[in-house]
Amino acid sequence: MSKPVCVFGEVLFDCFPDGREVLGGAPFNVAWHLHAFGQSPIFVSRVGDDEAGLRIRGAMSAWGMRVEGLQVDPKHPTGRVTVTLEDGEPSYEIVADSAYDFIAADQLPEVDAGLIYHGSLALRNGVSRAALERLKHQSAATLFVDVNLRSPWWERESVLALLGDADWAKLNRDELELLGDGGADETASAEPFRAAHDLRGLVLTRGAEGAVALEKGAEPVEVRPEPVAQIVDAVGAGDAFASVLILGLRVGWPLVTTLEHAQAFASELVQRRGATLSDPQLYRSFAEQWGLTTD
C-alpha cells in the first residue's frame, strides 16, 4: 500500500430537476470515498477556469483531498450533467467538450501508482485518452476499469480494448449484455467474458439482486443486499461499490469480505440524496466495523 491509488477521469456537477447541483462524476465519487476511507488517492482530472471549477477545488480541499492532479482549463468549462429520475433510477444528459475531455498529458503529476482506476466517459476525447496512456506508462500499476457506459459517448471496440489492458473490471448486467456475447444467463456469460479479456477479476453488479465476483482460478462469489427502508436515489451507488472494491484490493480482504462490505456501503448510499456524502462520521463508522483506521 506504499504506492498511491490514482483515480483518472471526469468531475462534474450533477444537476437535478429541483435545481440542486451535486458534485459528481464516477471517478470523482470513487476518489472522494477512498479519501474518506484513508487511502489519500491522487485524483487526475480537469476543470474549467470558472466558478464551478473553483467550487470543485474548494470542496476537495475542504474534504482534505489531494489536488495536485486537478488541472485548470482556460478554454473549456467545468463538466455538467442534467440528471432526471424515474422510479429512483437516473438518466443523464452529458455536456460535450467539457474540461475533463482535455486532461493534458504534459500536466500530469509525477506518480508511481499502485493502482489506477478509470472509466470510459472521460476517454471519449483523444486528448484525455493520451493522458491516460502516459499515466499507465509511468508505473506498473494494477488497472481497475469501471466500465460506466454513457450513451452516446462510447464505442464497443474501444471499451473492449480498455478491458484488454485491465486487471480488474466492474460492470453491470446491461453493460455485460452490450459488451459480451448476449447470452441469456448473465452469470454464466460473465466467466467466459472475464477469461476472454484475461482479467484477474470481474465484478458484475445486479442492482437489487446484489453482485457476483469472478476471480481467476477461484469459485464465483455472490452477495445480496439486505432490504433498505427507502431508496432515495441510485446516483453514485455503483461508484460507492467500486470504491470499496478498490479498498479491499488495497488492504487484502478476501473477495467475499470485499463484496459484502461494498454492498453494505452502496446500500447505505442509495438511502441518501446524491453521489457523495459529507459526513466523516458515517465513513468512520464503516471503517470501524471493517477494522480499518481512516486517520
List, for residues 247-258, the tens digit of each pLDDT value.
999 999 999 999
**What pLDDT shows up at residue 293?**
74
In a domain, 292, yes or no: no
Question: 94 is written with which cell numbers?
Answer: 452529458
- Please state, in angstroms and rounded to a whole number, the distance separating the CA atoms of residues 41 and 144: 14
146 in Cβ contact with 163 (< 8 Å): no
Task: For residue 222, give Cα distances in angstroms to 43, 212, 218.
Answer: 30, 4, 12
What letters, b where the CB count within 10 A reaches 16 and e where it falls short, cover 128-147?
Answer: bbebbeebbeebebbbbbbb
Mean predicted lDDT score pLDDT of the chain: 92
Alpha-carbon torsion (50, 44, 149, 18), positive or negative:
negative
The answer to whether residue 106 sits within a structural domain is yes
Whether 49 is covered by a domain: the verdict is: yes
Residue 174 placed within a domain: yes
- Give the pLDDT score at 231: 79
Domain count within the chain = 1
pLDDT at 42: 98
Q: Distance between terminal CA atoms of the chain?
A: 15
Q: With respect to residue 10, please indicate whether it lies within any of the assigned structural domains.
A: yes
Identify the three-state secondary structure at position 265. helix
CATH label of the domain that carries residue 208: 3.40.1190.20
Q: Is residue 291 included in any domain, yes or no?
A: no
Mean pLDDT of 166-177: 95
Q: Would residue 293 count as lying in a domain?
A: no
Question: Could you tell me the residue range of the domain that residue 55 belongs to?
Answer: 5-285
**How far apart are alpha carbons 112 and 268 in whole angstroms?**
33
Whether 294 is covered by a domain: the verdict is no
As given in the structure block, the three cell numbers for residue 137 are 506508462
C-alpha cell at 122: 472521460
Over residues 124-132, the mean pLDDT reads: 98
pTM for the structure as a whole: 0.94
